[in-house]
Amino acid sequence: MQLRYRYRLYPTSGQTSALAQAFGCARVVYNDALTAREQARAEGVRVTDAQLSKALTEAKRTPERVWLNTVSAVVLQQALADLATAYRNFFASVTGKRKGAKIHPPRYRSRRDNRQSIRFTANARWSITGGGKLRLPKIGDVNVAWSRELPSEPSSVTVIKDVSGRYYASFVVEVEAVPLPECDTEVGIDLGLDTFAVLSNGKTVSNPRFLRHAERRLKKAQRALSRKQKGSSNRAKARVRVAKAHAKVRDTRADWAHKHSTAIIGENQAVYVEDLCVKGLARTRLAKSVHDAGWGLFTRLLQEKANRYGRYFGKVDRFFPSSQLCSVCGAVDGKKPLHVRAWTCGCGAVHDRDVNAANNILAAGRAERLNACGVQVRPGSGRAQRVEAGTHPERRKALVGIPDL
């Protein structure tokens, strides 16, 4: 599998200027190619990648674009490749071949974009020197903070400047999956806001609320930014201070999510979570808390690490009534407002709302993984409909954990 390893770069002032020039040249090439494609599309003419590459070569000979020769040619070719990929993803999304949210057509890049990046492939002949520096063509040897060793020879490197002005080198490397020793534990996870995660084994993970704890510092930096005159250098410095404050919150949240996801994957052979609609929840009055929790980041890390370490990761349908279903008898007790944290079922079982939901997610995930307890179900049959609805005896046993006596 392919992974990205990212390291912090510390370029000199001269190298910073060279990188800024490379960012600008790649942006101009991208915008020129986008203009050519849009004009050809309006005229009903098809433009191929080879034609755009040839047009770039001819443009570098003109007085208006002769300064494109000051940067590596690979950087410019990769800008064209990025545009081609953007169009392929857009058309695949429009035609329904690409899953997920709809993708908008490519837009023009601006020098005011807070994030800039360029990519060097093996053709650019970049290298890592014996002293541990990153040698980039027409830029020089850049200092790198090597936090860990690369597992294999990288195929490409992307130089990124983020919104807070930090530089990173992102390497693409091939790594082999390293399965962890098998264990017999499985867990269902119920995600929430008051408590970040409640596991079916009784463990809980408190919500760190990184954004809430940093709000005072963020508010102070944002107010200082609003007082600066637009277009001034002081406003640019204040904007960077705000970006650094937000970057600190984001990095802290990512580090926390990495540590907890690694621990959960290492302790369980299978992990099941609910497929929450984060975008929908982010449009409610709980939007700030939902974004601060970072459910999407956490579940994505669980899935990626499960694939890497030989674990199973499954998602339960978001419409599954995990909070309404009794994990003991299987009775559906109806919807409950958020302030109801405990309830008693008609069978006499007293449930903690989150623990009961985690147990139901675990049972539903197991049933989905084992294809209704191994029952051969033909789609469209009455038996299949009973199994899917939970009325089939074997399906109900899997969902509520009833032993087969």
> Per the structure block, which two tokens stand in for 360?
């139901």
Q: Which amino acid is at 295?
A: W
What token pair was written down for 27?
A: 């942006």
The owner of tokens 């290492």 is 266
Q: Quote the CA–CA distance of 293 and 213 in Å, as a whole number.
A: 12
Measure the CA–CA gap between 157 and 98, rounded to whole angstroms. Answer: 26
Is residue 32 flagged as an active site residue?
no
Burial class (CB in 10 A: 0-12, 13-18, 19+), 165: middle
Estimate the crossing angle of helix 49-59 against helix 73-94, to 10 degrees: 150
**E strand or H helix that includes residue 211:** helix 210-213
| Candidates 190, 304, 317, 333; catalytic one | 190
Contact 82, 75 (CB under 8 A): no
333 is catalytic: no
Q: Any catalytic annotation for residue 352?
A: no
The size of the chain, in residues, is 405
What is the H or E stretch that residue 344 is in?
Answer: strand 342-344
Q: How many CA atoms lie within 13 A of 93 on its CB side?
A: 13
What is the sign of the dihedral through the CA atoms of 266, 272, 278 and 279?
A: positive
Catalytic residue among 32, 82, 186, 354: 354
Catalytic residue among 32, 82, 274, 292: 274
Among all residues, which ones are annotated catalytic? 190, 274, 354
